[in-house]
Structure 1
Amino acid sequence: MAWFSQFGAIVAMQGFNGLSVFSVLLLMALGLAIIFGQMGVINMAHGEFLTIGAYTTYVLSALTHKYAPALQPVYFFAAIVAAFAVAFAFGYLVEWLLIRHLYRRPLDTLLATWGLSLAMQQTFRSVFGSQEVSPDLPQWLMGSLSPYQGLDIPINGLMVMVLTVMLTAILLLFLYKSHWGVTVRATTQNRIMAGAVGINTGKVDRLTFALGCGIAGIAGAAFTTVGSTGPTSGSLYIVDTFLTVVFGGAQSLFGTIASAFSIAQTQSTTEFFLSGSMAKVLTLSAVIVILMLRPQGLFAPKVRR
């Protein structure tokens, strides 16, 4: 039965790797689900807001190491807040300067944000260089847990999963149980009527776009625990993130969660038996076939007509 125990450990490890991929992908997709699903804005620069969060974490790590080494064990919590704040502020500025002039013009929005993406990547190269960098992680994030022999669970992966669960719960609570969530959903469903009852739809759009960017910043902070950061790190996730949102249903956060889990687990499992490229091809092919059968996504909202 040794082979069975070893096979079980391998399956468990691949399943946990899938959960780690799921966590980062979901953090990215939640921000995009708000921007694309709730606002209808195709933000091709969304990945660069992940990079902003990652570089913010790196800068805060370097400052802590140089000026306050005693705070090294706890700086990562401040880095998560700082990553959200910087990405939120930049997203707010981008919406005010660029996006608000392009609503209901999806092709123009796509081209404009793609150009913004390229400009941000070049800015990252100019400021931080083209080499990938990594922050100094606290010691408590290093190492792994071994529930039983042959199974090692990285602590940093567990941290990312806990952060993802907490952020998802908070976002769902705000969107469905708060006044702000009501105004967002009202603006999404009927902008004219929402404005007629006194909702400042322009302010709602700005805060919603900035919130989606801020969540991508948190994804960037989480990303630094599992990978190094370069100028194009965020762009590597943008296709999978859009696919996750569309597959789950553009206006459904529950669909985004289910979609991210399905894609991450499928890709992680197939990578054990096939190459990484072939696993991605098979995963994307399966998603495309399902979208051909159900183009509205897995959890499309019911609309009264």
Structure 2
Amino acid sequence: MESFSDLGAILLMQGFNGLSVFSVLLLMALGLAIIFGQMGVINMAHGEFLAVGAYTTYLFSELTQQYLPSLMPYYFFVAIAAAFAVTFALGWLVEWVLIRHLYRRPLDTLLATWGLSLVMQQALRSIFGPREVSPTLPEWLMGSVQPLPGVDIPVNGLTVMVITVILTCGLLLALFRSTWGLHVRATVQNRVMSGSVGIDTKRVDRVTFALGCGIAGIAGAAFTTIGSTGPTSGSLYIVDTFLTVVFGGAASLYGTIASAFVIAQTQSVSEFFLTGSMAKVLTLSAVVIILMLRPQGLFSIKVRK
């Protein structure tokens, strides 16, 4: 009985670890879903926007600790807003300078944003150095809660989950209950008709791309609570993020949520029984097999071409 109890506690801990991975993966995938799924742009630099958001949080930590130490318990909330603002502005600039010239040319967007990712990595390496850094977290983010004997749940993981739930609900409300969301869905359904009825489709594209980058920035801020940040930190998530979006259905936010949960939980639980590499192989193999049977992903919507 004791061994079964221990196994249950371990599986519960692995399940919660899977939720932590799910939270960061979903934050990344949500930003990519509205860029790739809604706009058809393959943004290979999406991971670098996560890194920019993480470094922004690190900078706020250092500046607050040096000049306003009394505000250390509260700086993290300001850092999240700043990470969003910085990456949103950077995404707006990238769309205006680069992406707007490459719409409906998916291979060109892939190559251009891949080159952009290398430039951003080198810029981060030149500014912050090649070594990984970590912000000083507020004391309330440290420690853990114990809902059951032998089960410790880190507070930082719970915080990331709360941020993910709030952002996901906010994005769904914005997409389905706001004028911007209506314009986005209309543009996806029929771009020519949307333009003919007065929707500024170019502005919709720019705001959508910038918002997707801003969400990646928030993912970066959340990432700093569970891992250290380096110039290539974002690139470690880009493959899993694309896989999540494609597996869920490229134009479906609900599918993105479902696929992020399935991939994160499968990988986390299988890591208990297998090595990390084998767990990754098992997860990817299962996703590939499912996509062979259902190429449109878990969810799909009908789009007029």
Same fold (TM over 0.5): yes
SS in 2 for 1:237: helix
Work out the CA distance in 1 between the residues paired with 2:197 and 2:109. 28
CA distance in 1, matches of 2:88, 2:147: 39
Report the CA distance between 1:79 and its aligned residue: 0.4
Instruction: Tell me the distance in 1 between the aligned counterparts of 2:302 and 2:4.
Output: 45
| Aligned residue runs from structure 1 range 211-250, under 5 A | 211-250=211-250
Specify the code of the residue in structure 2 equivalent to 1:205.
D
Q: Aligned partners of 2:21 and 2:100: how far apart in 1?
A: 33
Instruction: Specify the code of the residue in structure 1 equivalent to 2:14.
Output: Q
Task: Report the Cα offset of residue 147 of structure 1.
Answer: 1.4
How much identity, in percent, do the aligned residues show? 78
Stretches of structure 1 lacking an aligned partner (at least 5 in a row): none
Q: What's 1:267 paired with?
A: 267
Q: CA deviation at 1:304?
A: 7.1
TM-score of the superposed pair, with normalisation by structure 1 = 0.99
Distance 2:265 2:15 in 1: 7
Q: What is the one-letter code of the residue matched to 1:163?
A: I
Residues 134-165 of structure 1: CA deviation (Å, up to 9, x unaligned): 00000000010111221000000000000000
Is 2:51 the partner of 1:29? no
Query: Counterpart amino acid of 1:175?
Result: L
The equivalent residue for 2:122 is 122
Q: Indicate the residue corresponding to 1:9 in structure 2.
A: 9
Partner of 2:146: helix, strand, or coil? strand
Between the aligned partners of 2:281 and 2:5, the Cα distance in structure 1 is 30
Taking only aligned residues, the RMSD between alpha carbons, in angstroms, comes to: 0.9
Q: Structure 2: which amino acid aligns with 1:241?
A: T
Aligned position for 1:142 = 142
Alpha-carbon distance between aligned partners in 2 of 1:297 and 1:24, rounded to the nearest angstrom: 21
Listed as ranges, the matches of 1:72-151 within 5 Å are: 72-151=72-151
What amino acid maps onto 2:104 in structure 1?
R
SS in structure 1 of the partner of residue 147 of structure 2:
strand
CA distance in 2 between counterparts of 1:22 and 1:186 reads: 30
Question: What's the secondary structure of 2:145's corresponding residue?
Answer: strand
TM-score relative to the length of structure 2: 0.99
Aligned to 2:65: 65
Q: How many Å separate the matches in 2 of 1:248 and 1:106?
A: 20
Distance 1:285 1:209, change over 3 A: same
Q: For 1:37 and 1:303, locate their aligned partners in 2 and report how far apart those are by CA, in whole Å.
A: 11
**Cα–Cα, structure 1 residues 304 and 40, in superposed 2: closer, same or farther, change >3 Å?**
closer
2:299 is aligned with what amino acid? F
For 2:211 and 2:148, the matched residues in 1 are separated by 41
State the distance in 2 between where 1:158 and 1:170 align: 18
Unaligned runs of 5+ in 2: none
Residue of structure 2 in register with 1:200 after alignment: 200
Q: Does the CA-based 8 Å contact 2:194-2:201 persist in structure 1? A: yes
SS at match of 2:153: strand
Shift of 1:92: 0.2
Provide the secondary structure at the position in 2 that maps to 1:216. helix
1:286 matched residue in structure 2: 286
Per-residue CA distance 1:50-90 (angstroms, 9 max, x = gap): 00000000000000000000000000000000000000000
1: CA distance, partners of 2:32 / 2:304: 25
Output the CA distance in 1 between the equivalents of 2:304 and 2:39: 19
Q: 1: distance between equivalents of 2:68 and 2:116?
A: 35
Segments of 4+ in structure 1 off by > 3 A? 302-305
Partners of 2:178 and 2:292 in 1: CA distance:
36
The structural deviation recorded for 1:303 is 4.7
How far apart are 1:302 and its partner, in Å?
A: 3.5
Provide Cα deviations, 1:196-230, integer angstroms capped at 9, x if missing partner: 00000000000000000000000000000000000
Q: Is the 8 A contact 2:190 2:304 kept in 1?
A: no
The AA in structure 2 aligned to 1:280 is K
The superposition leaves residues 77-133 of structure 1 with CA deviations (integer Å, 9 ceiling, x where unpaired) of 000000000000000000000000000111111000000000000000000000000
Q: Matched residue of 2:152: which SS?
A: strand
Cα distance in structure 1, aligned partners of 2:67 and 2:304: 59
Give, in whole Å, the separation in 2 of the partners of 1:171 and 1:164: 10
